[in-house]
Structure formats: C-alpha cells, structure tokens
Amino acid sequence: MKTLAKIFLMTLAVGLMVMLMVEAQKNDDVKKPVKVCGRNEEYSTCMNNCPLTCANRHEQIACIQVCLKEGCQCKHGYLRNRRGICVLEKNCI
C-alpha cells in the first residue's frame, strides 16, 4: 500500500510540475528587462529549485530540476551563506 501511495504522489507531483512549466512557457512571450545580480551571482531563466547553500552542502537532496522561476543564483563554485551572499565553498563557515 505504501508503494502505491508513493507512486500516486510522485505522479501527482510530476503532473503539477508539467502544468506549471506549460503555464510558464505561455508567459515567455512577454519581453523581460535585463536583471542585474550581485557579486558572484548570475541571472538565470531556469533557476535551480534546490540550490546548495553553505547550510545544506553536506546533505543529500532529492530534487527534480524543473524551470519554475528565473532570477539571480550563485555562480558555479559558489554557495549562498546564511547572510544570503554567494561565497566560495571553502569560505563557508
């Protein structure tokens, strides 16, 4: 029974994500202004839904990558610290 419930929930989650993706693509026709990001950040039209941070970098995170939003995210090799600043992983405290 637990397996059936897991399958149902996963199917439901995937279905909802597909619906959100379709809706997001409908809105892509609208021109958006260029965004300016902070130091060690870059603008992405497909943000990572489960970004690694200094706080969670050692955890195993199960995440399905779906483009739901756009915005500024840390550049490759950088993680967001508890103050919201993108720093090199070696500088995480």
> What are the respective helix, strand and coil percentages of the chain, to the nearest 5?
35, 15, 50
Beta carbons of 57 and 79 less than 8 angstroms apart: yes
Does domain 34-93 sit in CATH 2.40.50.140?
no
Q: How far apart are the first and last CA of the chain?
A: 43
CA atoms within 13 A on the CB side of 37: 16
Per-residue pLDDT for 17 more than 90? no
Per-domain boundaries in the chain: 1-31, 34-93
Using one digit for the tens of pLDDT, what is the confidence trace for 18-66?
455 556 566 555 555 568 999 999 999 998 888 889 999 999 888 887 8
Classify residue 29 by its DSSP letter.
Answer: G
